[in-house]
Amino acid sequence: MQELLALASGVLVGFSLGLVGGGGSILAVPLMVYVVGVPNAHVAIGTSAVAVAVNAAVNLSGHARRGNVRWACALVFAAAGIAGAFGGSVLGKMLEGQKLLALFALLMLVIAALMLKSRAHIGDGEVRLNWSNFPALVGLGLATGTLSGFFGIGGGFLIVPALMLATGMSILCAVGSSLVAVTAFGATTAASYAWSGLIIWKIAGLFVAGGIAGGLLGGRLAGVLAARRGALNATFAAVIIAVAIYMLIRSLASL
């Protein structure tokens, strides 16, 4: 039963990554703790980081084929964030598990509010790397990477709004481009947790298998929703709010 639950949870994680470029670990961590039954929050975070990094790489290929990735901006952002992700993961392992999950949920609510505020944002679908957006990409990449590593998340829910803020790109391009950084941040975090022996590899593999199927569906739906003004942003925010409220209630009850 645990294996079936892990596979089904992987489908949801992959669907979220394909649809909004995020939600991988933000969904994977609570799914592993509350659905699959991984008892240790740090093991759930480490295991989810592996699954999210692989699923993000798979979903990235689909968005790249559809022309949704702005590679230069994405690579600068990801490179700046890798150092932050490593440092953040070291700090995150020092914090008690339930407190980490509660802080995680509060961060999700802040991100949801930012996405709802910008739901009518259209953005530039042809944005390019230049000297005006380079400093913002480096600064926001470093900050996002640190938070990503600290909370053990791929960081898509942070990266998408950060890329839009730094460059003014459209949300569909931000979703596709964010997967470059999600892959890099997730792999960095996973390596740190693997070094500490905090990964269940079998469950990670099942999450990856389910995520491939879910990602194909999510990527196709993203293109449909992006054509409707604000629909993708609103969907993005609604998913975060629902999961955050549930996580906050469960985490505070356990403190």
| Residue (of 130, 148, 164, 168) closest to 56 by Cα position | 148
Give the three-class secondary structure for 67.
Answer: coil
Residue 110 makes CB contacts below 8 A (sequence gap 6+) with none
Asked whether the predicted pLDDT for residue 53 surpasses 80, the reply is yes
Per-residue pLDDT tens over the stretch 75-115: 999 999 888 887 887 787 777 766 777 777 787 788 778 76
At what angle are helices 231-254 and 2-20 packed, to 10 degrees? 140
> Which of the residue ranges 16-30, 63-77, 227-241 has the most confident prediction, judged by mean pLDDT?
63-77
pTM exceeds cut of 0.75: no
Number of domains within the chain: 1
Q: What is the mean pLDDT of residues 27-39?
A: 83
The domain of 144 spans: 2-254
Angle (CA) 62-66-72 rounded to 5° is 90
Element (H or E) spanning 243, and its range? helix 231-254
More confident residue, 161 or 80: 80
Query: How many residues appear in the chain?
Result: 255
How far apart are the C-alpha atoms of 100 and 103, rounded to whole Å? 5
Q: Provide the pLDDT confidence category of residue 118 given band limits of 50, 70 and 90.
A: low
Give 154's pLDDT tier (boundaries 50, 70, 90).
low
3-class secondary structure, 58: helix
